[in-house]
Amino acid sequence: MATIKDVAKDSGVSLGTVSKVINGLHVREDSRKKVEASIKKLNYNVNLYARSLKASRTNDIAVIIPTMENSFFTLMVDSIEKELTKKGKRMLICISRNDDSKIRSYIEMARNSKVDGIFGVTYSEIDKTLLDNMPFVSFDRHFGNNSPCVSSDNYMGGYIAAQTLHEKGSSNLLCFWTGSDTDSEPYKRIQGFKDYCEEKKISYNVIEHLNFNQTDTDMMSASKGFKSMVKGELENCFAGKAFKYDGIFASSDHLGYIIKEYLVKKKIRIPEDVQIIGFDGVPVRGVGKPIVSSIHQSASSIAREGMRVLFELIENGTAPNLVKIPVKFVDGGTTRN
């Protein structure tokens, strides 16, 4: 492997000059030509580790996601990679699997390896001191320490869900919420949902289950406890043979799907009798539609904005505290036309 020294020797200029050429600084035209020729000839490339060591910047960005079994996150990773490539940066991935200690140790490692910044999707608490001096942008959660948060417009999501159910003919709405933290951005969906119902004087109800976190719904199939919880709640929504609601807003597509499966088993027709709207709206691969009608949050927009904010933070040391991304309704067969 050729080094900068070899290039210098080969092209007959000094080490510093070569460095300048590599880094696009000004040198005399013919020096540049010679250096470039040698670079090509020796098939030279910078050693990123040496550069990083010296310059204490690495062009590496770490991305932390909870799982790869959720298409929403993988779509996000995909878009992040696109943005990073554009900027000539590398992407390191950490899959936290909801393991707090793994996140902790990963961030520590990231600090020491001097990645330039971290984009994190995490539902764990993070020790603020860990984040000191480490540019950190998060999705959906606030971590103080001037760490910006990028998030969908969750409030509008809830609002649009209620509105869509209503406009498509439902008048007795249920919001079924599962999720652990009530201080997060996603929790605002409930308020949006409520506000629309109040505005339009629509009858509604909210079921909140705060004991279930992402883990229960992110994986291939719901945990047993999750499923039986859903079943239990829905059983209570029957008045005799009749289901009390004709429109349901679920906190995730997956939950929406479980609800649908349960109701279908109970001979309730979807969407004729009951309409269901979930959240995320990730198309099933090869099918092109989500598993239920949904409020779609754009993984690519989130990634793009997330990176924009992260770069801003890295360069200026400061960035907007919250960036909201618009959402929209998408059909998935569980709502009427």
**Partner from DNA, its own copies, none binding residue 145, C-beta < 5-8 Å depending on class:** none
> Is 224 a residue that touches DNA (CB under 7 A)?
no
Q: How far is the CB of 154 from its own copies (least distance, A)?
A: 20
3-state secondary structure of 283: coil
Q: Select 1 or 239, whichever has its Cβ closest to DNA.
A: 1
Strand-pairing partners, residue 297, are 327
Binding mask 174-213 for its own copies (x = CB under 8 A): ----------------------------------------
- Burial class of residue 91 (count of CB atoms within 10 Å of its CB; 0-12, 13-18, 19+): middle
Q: How far is the CB of 190 from DNA (least distance, A)?
A: 48
Of 11-19, 59-67, 90-98, 200-208: span binding DNA (CB under 7 A): 11-19
Distances (CA, A) of 132 to 46, 62, 129, 315: 30, 16, 5, 16
Q: Select 3 or 184, whichever has its Cβ closest to its own copies.
A: 3
Cα distance between residue 288 and residue 332, in whole Å: 9
> Which phi-psi region, left, alpha or beta, contains residue 3 (left: φ > 0; alpha: ψ -120 to 50)?
beta
Of 43-51, 69-77, 118-126, 140-148: span binding DNA (CB under 7 A): 43-51
Q: Are 334 and 270 in contact (CB under 8 A)?
A: yes
Q: How far is the CB of 194 from its own copies (least distance, A)?
A: 26
Q: Are 155 and 187 in contact (CB under 8 A)?
A: no
Of 49-57, 134-142, 194-202, 324-332: span binding DNA (CB under 7 A): 49-57
Strands (E), the chain: 60-65, 90-95, 117-120, 136-139, 149-152, 172-178, 203-209, 238-239, 242-243, 247-250, 275-280, 294-297, 322-325, 327-330
Cα distance between residue 106 and residue 108, in whole Å: 5
Of 5-13, 79-87, 259-267, 292-300: span binding DNA (CB under 7 A): 5-13
> Is 48 a residue that touches its own copies (CB under 8 A)?
yes
> Is 1 a residue that touches DNA (CB under 7 A)?
yes
Total of residues contacting its own copies (CB under 8 A): 51
Q: What sign results for the dihedral spanned by CA atoms 182, 188, 193, 197?
A: positive
> Is 59 a residue that touches DNA (CB under 7 A)?
no
> Is 45 a residue that touches its own copies (CB under 8 A)?
yes
> Is 253 a residue that touches its own copies (CB under 8 A)?
yes
Q: Select 46 or 93, whichever has its Cβ closest to DNA.
A: 46
> Is 37 a residue that touches DNA (CB under 7 A)?
no
Q: Cα-Cα-Cα-Cα dihedral of 35, 37, 42, 44, to 10°?
A: 60
Cα distance between residue 168 and residue 55, in whole Å: 59
Measured from the Cβ of residue 204, the count of other Cβ atoms closer than 10 Å reads 21
Q: Select 25 or 48, whichever has its Cβ closest to its own copies.
A: 48
> Is 23 a residue that touches DNA (CB under 7 A)?
yes
Cα distance between residue 184 and residue 75, in whole Å: 22
Strand-pairing partners, residue 276, are 248
Query: Cα 125–213–151 angle (5° rounding)?
Result: 65
Of 50-58, 162-170, 194-202, 254-262: span binding DNA (CB under 7 A): 50-58
Residue choice 37, 41, 47, 128 for contact with DNA (CB under 7 A): 47
Binding mask 80-99 for its own copies (x = CB under 8 A): -xx--x----xxxxxx----
Give residues in contact with its own copies (CB under 8 A).
1, 45-50, 52-53, 58, 67-71, 74-75, 77-78, 81-82, 85, 90-95, 102, 108-109, 111-114, 217, 220-222, 253-254, 257-258, 282-288, 291
